[in-house]
Amino acid sequence: MNMNYTAGELAFRDEVRAFLEEKLPADIAAKVNGFRRLSKEDHLRWQKILCKQGWYATHWPEEYGGVKWTPVQKHIWDEESCRYGAPRSIPFGVNMVAPVIIRFGNEEQKQKYLPRILSGEDWWCQGYSEPGAGSDLASLKTRAVREGDHYIVNGQKTWTTLGQYANMIFCLVRTNTEVKKQEGISFLLIDMNTPGITVRPIITLDGEHEVNEVFFQDVKVPVENLVGEEDKGWTYAKFLLTYERTGLAGIGMSKAALSHLKQLASRRMKNGKPLIEDPSFSQRIARVEIDLTAAAISNLRIIASVEGGGVPGAESSMLKVKGTEIRQSINDLARRAIGPYALPFLEEEMELDYDGEFLSDKDAAPLAAHYFNNRKLSIFGGSNEIQKNIVSKTILGL
Amino acid sequence: MDFRLNEEQQMLQDTVARLVRGEYSFEKRLAFSETDLGFSADFWKQLSELGLTAVPFSEELGGFGGGGVEVQSLMAELGRGLCLEPYLQSIVFGGGLIRQAGNDSQQQNWLAGIASGELKAAVGLQEPQSFYDLNNVETRAEKNGEGYVLNGRKAVVIGGHCADVIVVSARTSGDTRDADGISLFALSPDTAGIERRTYPTIDGAKGCDITLNDVQVDADALLGAEGEAADVIEYQAGRAIAALCAEAVGVMEMANELTLEYLKQRKQFGVPIGKFQVLQHRMVDMMSELEQARSMAILAASVADSEQGDERSRVLAGAKNVIGRAGQFISESGIQMHGGIGMTWEYNFAHYAKRLIAINHQLGDDDFHLERYASLLQAS
Ligand SMILES: Cc1cc2nc3c(=O)[nH]c(=O)nc-3n(C[C@H](O)[C@H](O)[C@H](O)COP(=O)(O)OP(=O)(O)OC[C@H]3O[C@@H](n4cnc5c(N)ncnc54)[C@H](O)[C@@H]3O)c2cc1C
Ligand SMILES: Cc1cc2nc3c(=O)[nH]c(=O)nc-3n(C[C@H](O)[C@H](O)[C@H](O)COP(=O)(O)OP(=O)(O)OC[C@H]3O[C@@H](n4cnc5c(N)ncnc54)[C@H](O)[C@@H]3O)c2cc1C
């Protein structure tokens, strides 16, 4: 048993910290730390800086421009970049479609798409969910019919995160209706500028435009945009989901959010004292900090178990559930900490360049909206109910 | 023992229910919310024409002489419709403060107008540092020749943006957290030195923060005895809590109905998702939380207009605590069981969910009322 970082890992952490201190733009960090909106430009600016450092594609082999980090190094990166307020990379290109292309795509696809992901030329979004296919993803209906050297795609995707910024979408489409539902799905790369594609915003309960509906009407997609084999898309989709799930526990983000909460609670007053000295509120904070400590160690145990290679199994489902619950509790406490000031919905104060007077605390405006927005954490990436189904089936044998 | 409404109370509830169903579709509500007023002037007028704005006032004022139960029946229906009108602020709370503290001429000045809906009152008791403690008052009122000069800041005054009279607390003596030395003033919002910063709220209503900058008022702006308002505030806040609890029950009823319907209608894996036992049990828990909340709202209504005392305070704190917890559970569970749809602006459920959380931030959240209850705990 040894729970300490090695000397090499410590040196790596110093290197990461030095990099973040020097290179992370202060305005971007301020937005992340204050739960404010990031623009497309913010994401791209940070991506450029990471690419220049060679640290953007942390899940890719070196030959394609990736960086050879051990699981512990990735963890250190995740933790430190959250701590400093670096934006989380939008995962759809670099961490989702790219690993699928690298593993299952052909040489032309790798040559074509990977460099464009690194350069930021392509912004990818994920076209999995449909109105009728959420948890039951395999029941998806968007149809792709082969005609000569094209597929003709008809159907609808939904909940497409940041689809309004994207020029590329990777889709699961039905290419065969004669077989078991999992066996008739293919993985298609689609240019969003193809005629017949319409993107419509979905406004979420906090007033944000973060997700979209994407409609496909007789959309012509060249067959060379098929990844791997026709009807084998479900295998690739599942491969991708294991990647998605590992990041979803959000331990680093919870740590950052907890630190934000403690600062907030030190500034807000109750009974003439800082809220953080209030017996009941400080106990609430303490409880979530203890839970987070435990989850962080569980996370490290999973990381250590895959040091030799491979991907984590269903334990990461358990951690997704815990991790999202913890983050949601922190958001709940932050909203509680501002008391009556959770009510005002001051969109102007959510912008970083707001230069008026703050109604109450400088960080108060986004807190209630952020709490509501993060209800999504237990819904997407496989809902928490679905994660528990996975655990009970694969670990418990029920 | 009989928990049923009497005939008159039932009629009242049916009247409001019909009005809300007819006038307050979800789409209309969204549109009302986006106006400058933030609610429907027309709906307010209808409440007035049907005598509903006068329910808690005495018969001389054209009222019903209604008590906690009447207000409860009405508020529950407003809750079901997520109505945005300032009934709680103007009729229940503002009107209540003026009725209890005001002298004859002040009552004459304001109450008939409030009861008829012609005038709207709002209540400014919270301050930036007060959290939910209404005895935490830094705003000062200094006596001078003509009356008083007020300086300070009032926080999150729901309905304050459109009020004709704002009842504010200010300290005429004592330190920030003393119960003694708090006075109430009825302010006309266009008095020099009053500045309002208006904003929408997270649940679709409107409110404002009010800065009082050397606001000169006449002596007859003072409501009740100087420095002795704490008891009046506590009593009337209690009535407002009971009314808010009743509203919350209406909101929860609708949230549960919508969720149950969704569980039956939404299919995944070839079956309605309501076939999954984990969702069934969660729905059952939502229902029993609602029943807990309903019981406490009934209890709160029954003491709302009774004599002040520890027992009344305990019941009201207990009710608001249960409402806060049940509301959050129903809000979060409902969103979760709706999946992505529960997160959207266009579908009504999310707005019920937001209102439930917002209610927990009005007149004290479940933590605040737990502490309050604990401080009043009887040894046996
Ligand atoms: C903000 C946000 C962003 C998203 N971004 C994307 C994106 O970029 N791309 C994309 O493809 N998708 C995206 N999604 C979609 C997301 O993956 C789905 O919302 C999720 O899979 C759940 O599907 P659903 O919303 O249809 O809910 P449903 O599947 O209808 O689920 C409703 C409820 O039923 C429960 N349930 C369903 N089946 C079972 C079962 N067998 N046992 C027990 N309970 C069950 C669920 O847990 C949930 O509580 C996003 C969603 C959100 C909210
Ligand atoms: C102290 C005590 C006194 C009792 N007295 C009497 C008595 O006087 N007369 C008498 O006839 N019996 C009596 N019982 C028996 C009692 O009624 C049974 O224990 C009870 O019905 C549960 O049955 P079981 O113990 O076989 O558990 P099981 O039925 O085997 O249940 C085991 C677990 O599975 C759960 N479970 C079972 N079915 C489902 C389902 N469909 N969905 C979800 N969960 C499920 C249960 O909730 C339980 O948690 C007594 C039991 C106890 C412990």
pLDDT level of residue A378 (50, 70, 90 thresholds):
very high
Secondary-structure class of domain B122-227 per CATH: mainly beta
Q: What was the pLDDT predicted at A246?
A: 61
- Give the C-alpha separation, A85 to A19, whole Å: 13
Residue B294 and residue B73 in contact, taking contact as beta carbons nearer than 8 Å: no
Q: What was the pLDDT predicted at A245?
A: 60
A123-232 matches A249-394 in fold: no
Q: What was the pLDDT predicted at A238?
A: 86
DSSP-based three-state secondary structure for A231: coil
Residue B210 phi, psi dihedral angles, 5° rounding: -120, 125
Reply yes or no on whether the pLDDT at B296 is more than 90. yes
Region of B67 (left: φ > 0; alpha: ψ -120 to 50; beta: rest) is beta
How much is the average pLDDT of A355-377?
A: 95
**Is residue A195 classed exposed, middle or buried when 0-12, 13-18 and 19+ CB atoms within 10 A define those classes?**
exposed
**Is residue A271 classed exposed, middle or buried when 0-12, 13-18 and 19+ CB atoms within 10 A define those classes?**
middle
Domain chopping of chain A, boundaries: 7-89, 123-232, 249-394
- CA angle B318-B322-B326, nearest 5°? 175
Ligand 1 centroid distance, CA of A290 (Å) = 29
| Any A CB within 8 A of B215 CB | no
CA-nearest of B185, B175, B174 to B148 is: B185
Beta bridge partners of A220: A152
In angstroms, the Cα distances linking A267 to A32, A88, A112, A337, B372 are: 19, 27, 51, 10, 23
- Pairing of the two strands A143-147 and A150-158: antiparallel
Name which of A158, A204, A346 is nearest B199 (Cβ-Cβ). Answer: A346
Beta bridge partners of B168: B124, B185
What share of chain A in percent tops pLDDT 70? 98
- Ligand 1: residue of A128, A157, A159 to mutate (most ligand atoms within 8 A of CB) is A159
**Interchain pair A136, B362: CB under 8 A:** no
pLDDT level of residue B158 (50, 70, 90 thresholds):
very high
Answering whether pTM is above 0.90, one says: yes
- Residues with CB under 6 Å of ligand 1 are A 125-126, 128-129, 134-135, 159-161, 211, 376, 379-380, 383, 385-386, 389; B 266, 268-269, 273, 276, 278-279, 336-337, 339-340, 343
Residue A348 and residue B238 in contact, taking contact as beta carbons nearer than 8 Å: no
CA-nearest of A285, A322, A315 to A301 is: A315
Arithmetic mean of pLDDT over chain A: 94
Residue closest via CA to ligand 1's atom 1 equals A376
- Give the C-alpha separation, B342 to B345, whole Å: 9
Write the ipTM.
0.97
Extract the tokens encoding A78. 């995740």
Identify all chain B residues contacting A204, using CB atoms and an 8 Å cutoff.
Answer: 343-345, 350
User: A341: nearest CA in chain B?
Assistant: B156
Ligand 1 centroid distance, CA of B79 (Å) = 29
Beta bridge partners of B157: B208
Ligand 1 centroid distance, CA of B46 (Å) = 42
User: A284: nearest CA in chain B?
Assistant: B367
| Any A CB within 8 A of B206 CB | no
How much is the average pLDDT of A119-130?
A: 96
Q: What was the pLDDT predicted at B132?
A: 98
- Give the C-alpha separation, B131 to B122, whole Å: 19
pLDDT single digits (tens) A131-152: 999 999 999 999 999 999 999 9
Beta bridge partners of B216: B149
- Give the C-alpha separation, A116 to A105, whole Å: 15
Q: To which H or E segment does residue A337 belong?
A: helix A315-337
pLDDT level of residue A243 (50, 70, 90 thresholds):
low
CATH topology assigned to domain A123-232: Butyryl-CoA Dehydrogenase, subunit A; domain 2 (2.40.110)
Residue A352 and residue A362 in contact, taking contact as beta carbons nearer than 8 Å: no
Residue A233 and residue A172 in contact, taking contact as beta carbons nearer than 8 Å: yes
Instruction: Give me the architecture of the A249-394 domain, per CATH.
Output: Up-down Bundle (1.20)
pLDDT single digits (tens) B196-229: 999 999 999 999 999 999 999 999 999 999 999 9
Q: Which residue has the tokens 């292309």?
A: A101
Residue B3 and residue B298 in contact, taking contact as beta carbons nearer than 8 Å: yes
- Give the C-alpha separation, A342 to B326, whole Å: 19
pLDDT: which is higher, A119 or A244: A119
In angstroms, the Cα distances linking B246 to A54, A380, B79, B195, B304 are: 59, 34, 8, 33, 11
Q: To which H or E segment does residue A218 belong?
A: strand A209-222
In angstroms, the Cα distances linking B21 to B7, B82, B148, B250 are: 21, 11, 46, 13
Q: Quote the CATH superfamily of domain B231-375.
A: Butyryl-CoA Dehydrogenase, subunit A, domain 3 (1.20.140.10)
- Give the C-alpha separation, B139 to B172, whole Å: 9
Q: What is the 3-state secondary structure (H, E, C) of chain B?
A: CCCCCCHHHHHHHHHHHHHHHHHCCHHHHHHHHHCCCCCCHHHHHHHHHCCHHHCCCCHHHCCCCCCHHHHHHHHHHHHHCCCCCCHHHHHHHHHHHHHHHCCHHHHHHHHHHHHHCCCCEEEECCCCCCCCCCCCCCCEEEEECCEEEEEEEEEEEECHHHCCEEEEEEECCCCCCCCCCEEEEEECCCCCCEEEEEEEECCCCEEEEEEEEEEEEEHHHEECCCCECHHHHHHHHHHHHHHHHHHHHHHHHHHHHHHHHHHHHCEECCEEHHHCHHHHHHHHHHHHHHHHHHHHHHHHHHHHCCCCCHHHHHHHHHHHHHHHHHHHHHHHHHHHHHHHHHHECCCCHHHHHHHHHHHHCCCCCHHHHHHHHHHCCCCC
Extract the tokens encoding B14. 């049916």
- Pairing of the two strands B165-171 and B121-124: parallel
What share of chain A in percent tops pLDDT 90? 85
The DSSP result for A71-139, as a single string, is HHHHHHHHHHHHHHTPPPPPHIIIIIIHHHHHHHS-HHHHHHHHHHHHHTS--EEEE--BTTBSSSGGG
B7-120 carries CATH number 1.20.58.2030: no
pLDDT level of residue B124 (50, 70, 90 thresholds):
very high
Q: Determine the length of chain B.
A: 380
Ligand 1 centroid distance, CA of A267 (Å) = 37
Domain chopping of chain B, boundaries: 7-120, 122-227, 231-375
Residue A171 and residue A194 in contact, taking contact as beta carbons nearer than 8 Å: no
pLDDT single digits (tens) A295-353: 999 988 888 887 777 777 788 899 999 999 999 999 999 999 999 999 999 999 988 78
